[in-house]
Structure 1
């Protein structure tokens, strides 16, 4: 009899096994929702899929009486713009700081301890400071995401830069390359796929900081809407919004993975 540790499911079975937990969770939710609604039809804790569908239809396809906007899509657009801006700024700063401190020993000795200390500061703890210094507008939300994500990306790129074989640097110098040329033509191409991987890993934290900032000070956004309707126990809105955020996070991660494989296929081959 084949041992379980040696059993590898086929591709079709892998898909089925991956979908099985989701199916079990959905069935369990439906059973629990039906049971609670049978006892109390006005129960809000576990709304039915029909109730969630009606709520989302109103938000997605019926203009708001106050603003005339389609609330669901406006929330999505606002949150994605803040997320992309914050993570984009963090990626630029993280790339520059990581490559420079990883490649130049004098900068590593000077700034690596400071980078480590900054990365240990809880970003949410400085949110009140950002509101005081920058204000309650878009800049504070984007800054929070950038501050929260940039140190992680910088330290990861720093480590990846230091992992590049020193023989490559010696060969480049032997051929007459200057320090800027080594940074741009030798190191940068090799750390770019690592940068995309670092962005993928930091997106979870980026979403956390985004939702926290929107919950405290915002007039739109996915996080704002969730915390707005919680006072009414509107689980028919909260649960679909949480599912939508999860789907967006998955799609963004998948897109970044596809871009990485497309632009840097040699990086994917190195992992296999």
Structure 2
């Protein structure tokens, strides 16, 4: 039996999926115990109890200066910026992607520009955004848009081009206008693909958000991580990183559920 033909069962699949996390967790516990045995005041690898105490303080103790529960206020600020940025990116990408993918003149006009714009490092543009728009919310949301929209546009343009030509020809034969073809053939097929593009953009969006918050912000998960960094507060930094990862994972699950319930035909086609 060849290795490529061996498939784990349901129980084996679950064990294999969990195994890397268990090994990483065990490795951290072992390394943390070793460092604290050598130096009880070690801050590099805090123990689970140290991280739990720190996060309980961040989540359930009001900050003396602001009166807020810092973990939740930081989370609310970051999620608001993330949703705003990705929503704008999705709207722009959907309209531009479908239009460019369908209209040859727009394709010749905009595809080279979008391709070139997607090569601009978004973090290099951040100082320009701060100069033009200030250090408020606009610059942070705009950075997410600049970082994610071009790639979502290019993906949707390619997906529109992959629609079978027979569908477009039949619609035209039946007298469908460009507007009707867009609404009845292209848009329904691109909506689930837009969700896929959003899922792929979650990681970069978080990266741009954390970077912007680290440089100029008064709240947010990225701001808090870089604020406590100067105190070597790894008991806060590591849980915050885990919390960001969990939030991104939950966003991905939510988008996947929306896709499966709203477009069951698409999920079925992908599984085949």
Which TM-score band (shorter chain)? Answer: over 0.9
1:171 — aligned with what?
Answer: 170
Question: Does structure 1 residue 211 correspond to structure 2 residue 210?
Answer: yes
2:99 — aligned with what?
Answer: 100
RMSD of Structure 2 on Structure 1 (CA): 0.9
2:222 — aligned with what?
Answer: 223
Question: Does structure 1 residue 119 correspond to structure 2 residue 89?
Answer: no
Unaligned runs of 5+ in 1: none
- Determine the C-alpha separation between the residues in 2 that align with 1:20 and 1:178: 54
- Paired residues, number: 271
Q: CA deviation at 1:25?
A: 1.2
TM-score (norm 1): 0.98
SS across alignment from 1:42: coil
- Determine the C-alpha separation between the residues in 1 that align with 2:11 and 2:166: 45
Task: Write the deviation string for residues 206-247 of structure 1: whole angstroms up to 9, x where unpaired.
Answer: 000000000000011011111111111110000000001111
1:59-208 equivalences under 5 Å are 59-208=58-207
Q: Quick check: 54-63 or 28-37, which moved more? A: 28-37
TM-score (norm 2): 0.98
Q: Which of structure 1's runs of 4+ aligned residues deviate more than 3 A?
A: none
2:249 — aligned with what?
Answer: 250
- Determine the C-alpha separation between the residues in 1 that align with 2:270 and 2:89: 25
1:25 — aligned with what?
Answer: 24
Q: CA deviation at 1:265?
A: 1.1
- Determine the C-alpha separation between the residues in 1 that align with 2:136 and 2:259: 33
2:6 — aligned with what?
Answer: 7
Q: CA deviation at 1:18?
A: 1.2
SS across alignment from 1:47: coil
Q: CA deviation at 1:4?
A: 2.9
Q: CA deviation at 1:88?
A: 0.5
